[in-house]
Structure 1
Amino acid sequence: MLNETYEIVIRGTLSPAVLGAFPGFDVTEVEDGFTHLVGTVPDQARLHGLLDTVASLNIELVSVNPRSPDATRTDQHQSTRREET
């Protein structure tokens, strides 16, 4: 069983109707034209299903990143994140 948290980064923003295609995922950030969806994936079949949904909706996939639930963003766009002090 996989049951890992994943961050899916896509180019652009998603309408509320399209976000409904990703149940259990939260939008954690919309920055510089990228949307970050984070949620728990129970197994490989669900992960592949999510990627199929992205493709079938013609959404441009930027990256898929496993991450711990309490981790800060670690993808390629990390340098654009401003940390609050």
Structure 2
Amino acid sequence: MTATYELRVAGHLDDHWSPLLGGLVLVRHPDGTSTLTGPMPDQARLHGVLAAVRDIGAPLLSLRIVG
């Protein structure tokens, strides 16, 4: 079952990371964080995105299902 997730990371991610993150919607916030939002069809996809965030070196602040 596909669910939409929102990942919040510390720092402002650059647009050039978007392909690595599978085209998730990237929003930079005034508080110095970024959110990545998009559908994840399965746990494998979610784990892939989490691994990409780890590889970028962006500290993960939160993960939640938004839809």
- TM-score normalised per structure 1: 0.71
Which stretches in structure 1 are left out of the alignment for 5+ residues? 69-85
Match of 2:49 in 1: 50
Match of 2:13 in 1: 14
Match of 1:32 in 2: 31
Match of 2:61 in 1: 62
Which structure carries more relative contact order (alpha carbon 8 Å, separation 6+)? 2
- Conserved 8 A contact 2:2-2:39: yes
- Conserved 8 A contact 1:9-1:37: yes
Q: Which range is displaced more, 13-22 or 57-66?
A: 13-22
Which letter does structure 1 place at the counterpart of 2:13?
Answer: L
Note closer, same or farther for the CA distance 1:50–1:12 as it changes in structure 2 (3 Å cut): same
Which letter does structure 1 place at the counterpart of 2:19?
Answer: G
Q: Deviations over 1:26-67 (max 9, x none)?
A: 124523011111100010000011111111111111011101
- TM-score normalised per structure 2: 0.87
CA RMSD of aligned residues (A): 1.3
Of Structure 1 and Structure 2, the greater strand share is in 2
Instruction: List structure 1 runs of 4+ shifted beyond 4 angstroms.
Output: none
